[in-house]
Chain A
Amino acid sequence: MTGAGSLTLEGLGKSYGEAPVVSGVDLAIRPGEFVTLLGPSGCGKTTILRMVAGLVVPSTGRILVDGADITQLPTHRRNMGLVFQNYALFPHMDVARNVGFGLEMRGVARAEAERRVREVLDLVRLGAYGERRPRELSGGQQQRVALARALVVRPAVLLLDEPLSNLDAKLRENLRDEIRAIQERLNTTTLFVTHDQAEALTMSDRVVVLSAGRIEQVGTPVEIYDQPASPFVATFIGRVNRVDGTVVASDATGCTVAAPGLCGRSLRSLPAGARVQAMIRPQRITLLSGHVEGENHLAGTVRRVVFAGDIVQIDVETPAGTLTIEQPRRGLAAGDAVTACWEAADMMLFPP
């Protein structure tokens, strides 16, 4: 077992009584792939993870590892690694015993086990901490011990349940990179759960966006961001501006959308006469001085400029509503006349 198993979820679902918490989840994860389950709280992502671990029994569907159906297999026989949000380190054992616990359960010989524990502790840069107790460690250190404990058994699949939520922002960023680096080095198939999009986008090979127990979209981070499949995904990932309008003309290459003050062109074709929501990301909008006519040009007045360190946020009042633009440079003031413009490819269209 090298730790690179394939994981397949077929029609997975879970209901408590009448209410379905998860339904119709189909997902195929390749060996060595890093897949993130992303969504707001209550969307069922943790439930899916716990079903894979065997801690929750699915109501419907199957779970397959390397083609073998493990749905009925009890937790302790599944050979997975699970990193908990609260680390779940055993307080009555020191770090080395904690990490070696899984090996002990598998009957690995003591000398061999000690060697492997040392190896994995070096991997997470905690080689000198074997004798310490969990309560003597900081949050970040405890998290790395939890990771080591899950990895040392060479699991078929590594599962991580919001492992970074309890850490402060800087630590989170550092651990993010570290986890990804270790995962790539060991080529372990990984299923990662988070509500934080930055984590999802920076760490994953693919992202699964979930809402109310259903999969909204599966794709690479770029696909999710640039080609959201639904308004939910578009608004959940990154920020968007929304303009309501009507399709006036449509052909094979795209359609023209009319909204107050705007004649817009999108590359997506929707039937003429249909009402649509158009969404444009704040970073994809360019501001021109004064009022300029054109396709995908919307004239307006600057209402507010907010300096937020890395970016400048500019609110522009237009006939089609308030647009928020983000750009790196300052230079505009409230009251300035501007025109917001963007590429056709950047205007995402959805039915209302």
Chain B
Amino acid sequence: MSTGFRALVAALFCFLLAPLFVVLLTSFSNDSFLAFPPHAWGLGGYRALWANEAFRKGFGVSVTLAGLVTAVSLGAGTAAAYAIARSRFPARDALLALFTAPLLLPGIILGLGLLLVFARFGLLATWPGLAIGHCLVTLPFVVRVVLTALRGIDATLEEAASVLGATPWRVFYRVTLPLMLPGMTAAAALSFLASFDEVVITLFLVGPRLTTLPIEVWHAIQYRADPQISALSVVLIGFTALLVIVVERSLGVLRAVGR
């Protein structure tokens, strides 16, 4: 490969990573608003972030919500994936397509649909409403990832355990489940991430009483651009990186995404 080509690729990589880089840099600015070039450097952004009540509350809500949603999706999704992988029933493929369909539709439409239904049943800006809304997008992830992991498990291992005297429950508990664990870990991390970062659907589901961190950021961005938001963004990026490492270690990112 020629140097010209390499230079081009390098430039494109810079373009690709520019926003993340800029956010990282400006988080260390001590100005009261973001301008170029920054006049003062420091951790002022992070200190202000730490003191920001709304952001801290939003963070708490997002983390709790993501944990709740992950737990529910993991349970429901793993059960469904197991049923799809190990049983044969009519419309099995159609059902799988249905479970993963929400990932195909734009968030704006899913959000609107939820708004219409939840407004009717008074679920807007409530924990159950938010949880159900997020499960809509985390469940397909869990089903897909766990299904991939299950399909990678050799069926003869379960047969061997059965012949050796293990009842169906013990086969699941001693052989299938341990081998599924890496896939489930990856699914949990992806699910947590998806819920934590969820913005578009959440926009339709929140209210003054209950809101998540990405929504707080969304509102903040519209009105001002200050280092606090950059600092928050860096924290979010760090958080994401952590979860990605978990996925990579357990299953491998490319395998989890299905390529």
> What residues on A are CB-neighbors of B162 within 8 Å?
54-55, 75-76
A102 touches which one: B156, B165, B179 (CB < 8 A)? B165
The chain A residue with its CB closest to the CB of B175 is: A90
CB of B178 within 8 A of CB of A76, answer no
Q: Which of A267-300 contact B (CB under 8 A)?
A: none
Mark each residue of chain A from 87 to 128: 1 if its CB lies under 8 Å from any CB of chain B, else 0: 010111000000001100110000000000000000000000
B161 touches which one: A53, A80, A101 (CB < 8 A)? A101
Mark each residue of chain B from 160 to 196: 1 if its CB lies under 8 Å from any CB of chain A, else 0: 1111111110110011001100000000000000000
> What residues on B are CB-neighbors of A91 within 8 Å?
157, 179
**Contact of B53 with A by CB under 8 A:** no
Task: Give the number of residue pairs across the A-B interface with Cβ within 8 Å.
Answer: 61
> What residues on B are CB-neighbors of A350 within 8 Å?
none
Mark each residue of chain A from 41 to 62: 1 if its CB lies under 8 Å from any CB of chain B, else 0: 0000000000001110000000
**Contact of B93 with A by CB under 8 A:** no
Distance A76 CA – B162 CA, assembled complex (angstroms)? 5
The chain B residue with its CB closest to the CB of A97 is: B174
CB of A153 within 8 A of CB of B165, answer yes
**Contact of A79 with B by CB under 8 A:** yes
CB distance from B225 to the nearest CB of A (A): 51
> What residues on A are CB-neighbors of B154 within 8 Å?
86, 88
**Contact of A81 with B by CB under 8 A:** yes
CB distance from A114 to the nearest CB of B (A): 17
The chain A residue with its CB closest to the CB of B171 is: A76
A92 and B179 in contact, given A82-B160, A86-B154, A105-B170 (Cβ under 8 angstroms): yes
**Contact of A84 with B by CB under 8 A:** yes
CB of A105 within 8 A of CB of B164, answer yes
B157 touches which one: A79, A80, A82, A90 (CB < 8 A)? A90
A102 and B159 in contact, given A88-B154, A90-B175 (Cβ under 8 angstroms): no
Distance A81 CA – B159 CA, assembled complex (angstroms)? 11
> What residues on A are CB-neighbors of B160 within 8 Å?
82, 84, 88, 90, 149
Q: Which of B39-67 contact A (CB under 8 A)?
A: none
> What residues on A are CB-neighbors of B168 within 8 Å?
76
CB of A88 within 8 A of CB of B156, answer yes
CB of B175 within 8 A of CB of A80, answer no
The chain A residue with its CB closest to the CB of B153 is: A91
CB of A149 within 8 A of CB of B179, answer no
Distance A86 CA – B159 CA, assembled complex (angstroms)? 12
Mark each residue of chain A from 137 to 175: 1 if its CB lies under 8 Å from any CB of chain B, else 0: 000000000000110010000000000000000000000
> What residues on A are CB-neighbors of B165 within 8 Å?
76-77, 79, 102, 105-106, 153
Distance A88 CA – B154 CA, assembled complex (angstroms)? 8
Distance A126 CA – B71 CA, assembled complex (angstroms)? 44
CB of B163 within 8 A of CB of A75, answer yes
> What residues on A are CB-neighbors of B164 within 8 Å?
76, 101-102, 105, 149-150, 153
CB of A76 within 8 A of CB of B157, answer no
Mark each residue of chain A from 303 to 331: 1 if its CB lies under 8 Å from any CB of chain B, else 0: 00000000000000000000000000000
Distance A324 CA – B171 CA, assembled complex (angstroms)? 54
Distance A88 CA – B170 CA, assembled complex (angstroms)? 17
Distance A169 CA – B36 CA, assembled complex (angstroms)? 73
A105 and B157 in contact, given A91-B179, A92-B178 (Cβ under 8 angstroms): no
> What residues on A are CB-neighbors of B157 within 8 Å?
88, 90-91
Most B CB contacts (10 A, CB to CB) among A78, A102, A105, A150 go to A105
Distance A153 CA – B164 CA, assembled complex (angstroms)? 8
The chain B residue with its CB closest to the CB of A91 is: B179
Distance A229 CA – B32 CA, assembled complex (angstroms)? 98
> What residues on B are CB-neighbors of A54 within 8 Å?
162-163
The chain A residue with its CB closest to the CB of B157 is: A88
CB distance from B160 to the nearest CB of A (A): 4
A81 touches which one: B163, B175, B178, B179 (CB < 8 A)? B163
CB of A84 within 8 A of CB of B166, answer no
The chain A residue with its CB closest to the CB of B158 is: A88
Distance A77 CA – B168 CA, assembled complex (angstroms)? 11
> What residues on B are CB-neighbors of A106 within 8 Å?
165
The chain B residue with its CB closest to the CB of A53 is: B163
The chain A residue with its CB closest to the CB of B164 is: A102
Distance A82 CA – B158 CA, assembled complex (angstroms)? 12
The chain A residue with its CB closest to the CB of B160 is: A88
CB of B159 within 8 A of CB of A84, answer yes
The chain A residue with its CB closest to the CB of B165 is: A105
Distance A311 CA – B161 CA, assembled complex (angstroms)? 46
CB distance from A163 to the nearest CB of B (A): 12
CB distance from B258 to the nearest CB of A (A): 22
Closest 8 CB pairs of A and B: A105-B165, A102-B164, A88-B160, A88-B156, A82-B163, A75-B162, A92-B178, A105-B166
A residues neighboring B (CB under 8 Å): 53-55, 75-82, 84, 86, 88, 90-92, 101-102, 105-106, 149-150, 153
Known: A55-B159, A88-B160, A153-B165. 16 other contacts (CB 8 A): A53-B159, A55-B162, A75-B163, A76-B164, A76-B168, A79-B165, A82-B159, A88-B159, A90-B160, A90-B161, A90-B175, A91-B157, A102-B164, A105-B164, A106-B165, A150-B164
8 CB contacts below 8 A, A to B, read A75-B162, A76-B164, A76-B165, A76-B167, A84-B160, A90-B161, A101-B164, A101-B166
